[in-house]
Amino acid sequence: MKKISDLTETRVRLEPYRDEYGNIRMESIEFTARRRIRTIGNGLRFVHFIVDMIVFQLVISMVQFVLLLVNKTLMASVAEFMGLMLLIPLAFSYSLLYTFFENRFQRTPGKFITKAIVIDEYGNKPDLRTLLMRNFIRIVPFEILSCLADRGWHDTWSDTYVVAESELVEIRRLMEEEE
């Protein structure tokens, strides 16, 4: 199966040449080049991050509230004992929530709003192993700064892409054409 990074497109470039009078003219030359995958931009990534953090914080707060109702003593003793160590399970819970949403819907709540979707290097839904790796990479310190580039480490290291639904339709059309 062909990778989406191997898709090609026909492009046109202008090349100068001299006509019979010595004047410089431009000629259109067609050539084939690899097609750039149009991933979503930094602005939308930031929207995803903010919306996802709000939704995930609400989910975690609801779980904590239910646990508190079930056993107040247990929650109080765990909170006292763990203190700042609760941050570690919290980081893992974010990764697991991201994985749940992306495995079930191929997107997180933020991606639903912007009509973006997570795909693998073949334009398909990533498998669970890939999604787990993708989302646990988010725990790496300074990983969020990598999102200032075209793709974050969690995308690059897991060979995944976040694209608009319209881009996915175009990718699938091109893959069918090239087969």
**Does 75 share its domain with 149?**
yes
**Does 8 share its domain with 71?**
no
pTM: 0.74
b/e sequence 9-39, b meaning 16+ C-beta within 10 Å: eeeeeeeeeeeeeeeeeeeeeeeeeebebeb
Task: Report the pLDDT value the prediction gives residue 79, as an integer from 0 to 100.
Answer: 59
**Does 11 share its domain with 49?**
no
27 phi, psi to nearest 5 deg: -120, 135
Task: Report the pLDDT value the prediction gives residue 67, as an integer from 0 to 100.
Answer: 66
**Does 54 share its domain with 20?**
no
**Does 105 share its domain with 23?**
no
**Does 165 share its domain with 94?**
yes
In the chain, the number of structural domains is 2
**Does 30 share its domain with 102?**
no
pLDDT per residue, tens digit, the chain (179 aa), is 788 888 888 899 999 999 999 899 999 999 989 888 998 888 888 888 889 889 988 887 777 777 667 666 655 666 555 554 555 666 677 888 889 999 999 999 999 999 999 999 999 999 999 999 988 888 887 777 677 677 888 888 899 999 999 999 999 998 888 77
**Does 116 share its domain with 30?**
no
**Does 74 share its domain with 13?**
no
Spell out the residues 6+ positions from residue 132 whose beta carbon is closer than 8 angstroms to its own. Answer: 95, 99
**Does 112 share its domain with 28?**
no
Domain hosting residue 46, numbered range = 42-178
**Does 86 share its domain with 150?**
yes
